[in-house]
Chain A
Amino acid sequence: MKLSVLSSPALVSGLMVVCLHSVWFPILVFRNTSGLILLLGLDFSAMIFPVVYIGAIAVSFLFVVMMFHIQITEIHEEVLHYLPESGIIGLIFWWEIFFILDIEIIPLISTQRNTTSLRYMVYAGKVRSWTNLETLGNLLYTYYFFWFLVSSLFLLVAMIGAIVLTMHRTTKVKRQDVFRRNTIYSRRIIMKRTPDPLTIYLRYRRLIGLNPIREMAVIFSRSWPLNLFKGFKHL
């Protein structure tokens, strides 16, 4: 089943509207771009696109939607306010697209297949051809190793930067020495120093007595759990 160039509009059409009505639209953009790259013959990049772009970057977009208090009414109020500047920037991007496009190549209405079927067979490529992974791997780690290591530095900086920015002091305070905690806790259990809830309740009733005013006073005082333990001396 040979997919022709006719199916690329089927992948792209109508779904490249990145008006950001929801996060769904960038996800569709990535999916269609992945399909296009697949048609171009770059299978590795086409498989990495969903993994990295959709699985990581679109998920980050989702997190942004979850975290921030975005109300749709606020967005609608402010859209027209920003229209001049954003309109100019949008027109500049649209104008830059014409530098890349060569209009004779794109079939606007591709009805006959003769325009795209003029290609010759490379039979040597059918015997043994290098996959995308192989070609990338041959060059990236040997001839272009410097850029590869620069990319690792980028990742390192991003990792450290993300941790520095998001971890404030409260996330460090709660750490405790787990081994010490276990020994203390097990000692109390073994020596039976902590009473069960029923005992606590019975002691509480006996401590308070049947005076409701005194009972309320003890309950509404801030240290009422401690008052229970004060009564242990009598029991």
Chain B
Amino acid sequence: MSEFAPICIYLVISLLVSLIPLGIPFPFSSNTSTYPEKLSAYECGFDPFGDARSRFDIRFYLVSILFIILDPEVTFFFPWAVPLNKIDPFGSWSMMAFLLILTIGFLYEWKRGASDRE
């Protein structure tokens, strides 16, 4: 378990490196020079016409969902690769069956054009 100590140190240092530049401006900023008009959205002097959010394309969410699906596939590869000399060819072929089933899904996604860039 002591092999994870460097990871702990790495996490703490990375947290510090990202939080220190984030937090340094706060003591030096002046809160007195902001007023509501300065903080509100600027639309050429008019009041804001509507919400600033635009319509979100669902294809970005599809990318995220496909990552969720294929990430466990990669996760299943890791324990399979380590004891390959101990599992007989049966173990290899069960992984090939897993891959075959997921390749069917991948073919469907490819032909349907789910990850086309248009």
B59 touches A171 (CB 8 A): yes
Please measure, in the bound complex, the distance between the C-alpha atom of A67 and the C-alpha atom of B65, giving whole angstroms. 14
Closest approach, in angstroms, between the C-beta of A143 and any C-beta of chain B?
A: 10
Q: With A152-B98, A159-B69 known to touch, is A63 a contact of B61 (CB < 8 Å)?
A: yes
Interface of B is mostly: helix
**Interface CB pairs A-B, < 8 A, 27:** A1-B2, A2-B1, A38-B1, A44-B78, A48-B75, A51-B71, A56-B68, A59-B64, A60-B65, A63-B60, A67-B58, A134-B83, A140-B79, A141-B94, A148-B76, A148-B98, A149-B97, A149-B98, A151-B72, A152-B97, A155-B69, A155-B73, A158-B65, A159-B66, A159-B108, A159-B109, A167-B112
Tell me which residues across on chain A come within 8 A of B94, comparing CB atoms. Answer: 141-142, 145, 148-149
Are A160's CB and B108's CB within 8 A?
Answer: yes
Instruction: Check if A6 is an interface residue, CB within 8 A of chain B.
Output: no
Interface residues contributed by chain A, number (CB under 8 Å) = 48
B44 on interface, CB distance cutoff 8 Å: no
Give the dominant DSSP class at A's interface.
helix
**Chain B contacts to A: CB under 8 angstroms:** 1-2, 4-5, 51, 53, 56, 58-62, 64-69, 71-73, 75-76, 78-84, 86-88, 90-92, 94-95, 97-98, 101-102, 104-106, 108-109, 112-114, 116, 118
* B87 & A141 in contact (Cβ 8 Å cutoff): yes
Query: Do B108 and A163 have beta carbons less than 8 Å apart?
Result: yes
B118–A175 touching, CB < 8 Å = yes
Chain A residue nearest in CB terms to B68 = A56
Q: Which of B2, B58, B69, B91 contacts A158 (CB 8 A)?
A: B69
How far is the CB of B9 from the nearest CB of chain A, in Å? Answer: 10
Interface on A for B, CB 8 Å cutoff?
1-3, 38-39, 41, 43-44, 48, 51-52, 55-57, 59-60, 63, 66-67, 69, 131, 133-134, 136-138, 140-142, 145, 148-149, 151-153, 155-156, 158-160, 162-163, 166-167, 171-172, 174-175
Q: Which residue of B lies closest to A136 (CB)?
A: B79
Residue in B4, B5, B116 whose Cβ sees the most chain A Cβ within 10 Å: B4
CA distance A159 to B112 in the complex (A): 12
List 3 tightest A-B contacts by C-beta distance, closest first. A137-B79, A136-B79, A141-B91
Q: What's the minimum C-beta distance from A153 to chain B, rounded to whole angstroms?
A: 6
* Min CB–CB distance A25 → chain B (angstroms): 17
A20 to B: closest C-beta gap in Å: 19
**Which chain B residue shows the least CB distance to A137?**
B79
Q: How far is the CB of B116 from chain A (nearest CB, A)?
A: 7
